[in-house]
Amino acid sequence: QIVHPSNCSRDFRAPVFLPGGKGCVATLSEPKPKTEQLLVELRARINCMHKAVKDVRQRQSKRYNERSHYEQTINFSIGDYVLRSRVDEKLYANKLRVVWVGPYRVVGSAGYYFTVEHLVNGTTMDVHPSRLKFYAYDSLNVNEELIDHIASQGTLLAVEAFVKHRLNPDMQSYEVKVKWFGLELIEDSWEPIKTMSEDVPQLLLEYATSSTDDLFLRAVMSAIDIKKRQRSKCNRT
């Protein structure tokens, strides 16, 4: 049986207020946080942070643009002899390699370029200093041996015949052994069919056709066909 007290407190206070004679903290009566104001302050801080980052980037870009990207120490002057870098294409790897040729004689300068003279044929060209390297001072003795060395640079060799072929396992492509006109047998060299298909495609095709290697023949025809398509595309453009 539940017994309810018949007499209620005249103050109509809940029991939570009675212990210790202290009242309960009324949390619901406190004002709510100013959410909108906090969001405004947060946005302002974020904008300040973004502005600071943007300013730093602009200063970095300005310093980068003002810097000389092609700054190079020039250690030669007019009259000196220099080497010139020539870019050759390594067709078997489709990469570029730089070969230093010369020497040339520096005969002038204009702006960011130097004018160099070929010692054999006397032709001149303007070259950026980044493509030149000091070789000797103007007191260099230009003798016959040096002239012969310069004249031999860029000499083209003619293909006399193809001796044999093989599959290069490292490159996963075929190579042909080339006999060169005017050279000894010991100077025969292995060359990729990609190179030969560009230089002497008809001679390469005749050799491949006369061989009994069908896989090699298909590889040669594919290399020649690719070169023809590339030339056709270049002609259209």
The two structure tokens encoding residue 136: 């000797």
**Structure confidence by residue, pLDDT tens digits, 211-220:** 989 999 999 9
- pLDDT at position 93 is 43
What would the pLDDT profile of 168-189 be if each residue is shown by its tens digit? 888 888 999 998 877 778 888 8
Q: How many CB atoms lie within 10 A of CB 43?
A: 10
| Element at 161 (helix H, strand E) | strand 159-168
Residue 90 has a pLDDT of 46
Sorted by sequence, the CB contacts under 8 Å of residue 221 that are 6+ apart come out as 205, 208
Please give the chain's pLDDT, 237 residues, in tens.
555 555 555 555 666 555 555 555 555 555 556 777 888 888 888 988 988 888 888 888 877 766 655 455 677 888 899 988 876 554 444 445 567 788 899 999 887 789 999 887 788 888 888 888 888 888 888 787 777 776 666 555 678 899 999 998 888 889 999 988 777 788 888 989 888 888 788 899 999 999 989 999 999 999 888 767 666 655 555
Residue 49 and residue 47: Cα distance in Å, rounded? 5
Separation CA 22–CA 89 (nearest Å): 95
List of domains in the chain: 81-151 (no CATH), 159-236 (2.40.50.40)
